[in-house]
Amino acid sequence: MALHPQCEAFLAPGAGAPELIDIPIATGRAGAYADMTISGEIAINVEILDRFIPGNTADILVRIYRPPGENIKNGMVYFHGGGWSYFSVDMYDAQLSSLAALTDSIIVSVNYQKAPEHKFPIPHDDCFTGLKWTFDSAESLGINRNKIGIGGDSAGGNLAAGVALRNRDQKLFPIAYQLLIYPCLGLDFETDSYKNNAVGYGLSKRTMSWLWSLYLTRPKDDENPYAVPLNAQDLVGLPATIIITAEHDVLRDDGARYADKLQSAGVPVTYIDYDGMIHGFFNYGKFIDAGISSRIEIAELISEALA
């Protein structure tokens, strides 16, 4: 269908503005903080606290969202988007406090180190460390160890998929589900969604290709499924998966192709493509209603997975 009017209005002020690839990385990072209310209101009944955990190459900031009640909670480890190079946990208070309340989950959001200063595998390792810390700390956090999922959007969806594969291979933790919101999963820039949405929908084909180049270190990384999950030859044994995509997004076919591969491997998959939406809509709740309503739908799917 056509671009949703709210998405059209959201994009209009930036028409003709330079893309991320055309401005200094520091400028792009600073610009992300221009409107800290872009995702909507923070759930007032959810406690938010920060702490640092030890990682392989640095201490890692994690932000923890705790819904009210003394009962043992569900859990989620979340990895934010931003092309592996931008954003931080600061941009996700509205989205994750809402999901914490809606799913009765304690959510641990991992502020992994960013490319290009810290290329693959460092962001991936930081996220895996966040997963391990959450499972190891489940009792002290008040989380049911058997009901911990992982999730992420865009580059965070890539990190979540890679972490799930590594965890499956190492047979470490009983991940209950993986939530992948418009994830970037492959290096094929000639899919229909890349061609149809190459320019004019926020995230361009040119910028997405450049972001991949900032993240990957060596040519052999292109074939590593922990970095490029669509390269995985075997998806058997992965957790139940929820994949969300947007119709007008270069990454739409990445999510659709991964859903097909997972289903072929016998993994339970729920795939939803949001008509008329653009990349990032989950983060734009102040301007795009689906950024809010999608949280409710995602929460219902998480509850089904946990049941």
- List, by residue number, the catalytic residues: 154, 249, 279
**DSSP letters spanning 54-100:** E-SSSEEEEEEEE-SSSSPEEEEEEE--STTTS--GGGGHHHHHHHH
DSSP secondary structure letter of residue 223:
G
Rounded to the nearest 10 degrees, the angle between the axes of helix 155-170 and helix 122-136 is: 60
Determine contact, residues 205/198, Cβ cutoff 8 Å.
yes
Spatial CA neighbour of 177 closest among 188, 191, 196, 163: 163
Residue 109: which of 149, 158, 63 has the closest Cα? 63
Output DSSP code: residue 37: T
- Does the N-terminal peptide bond of residue 121 adopt cis geometry, omega within 30 degrees of 0? yes
Cβ-contact 136, 53 below 8 angstroms: no
Distance CA 186, CA 223 (A): 10
Closest to 36 (Cα-Cα) out of 253, 300, 284: 284
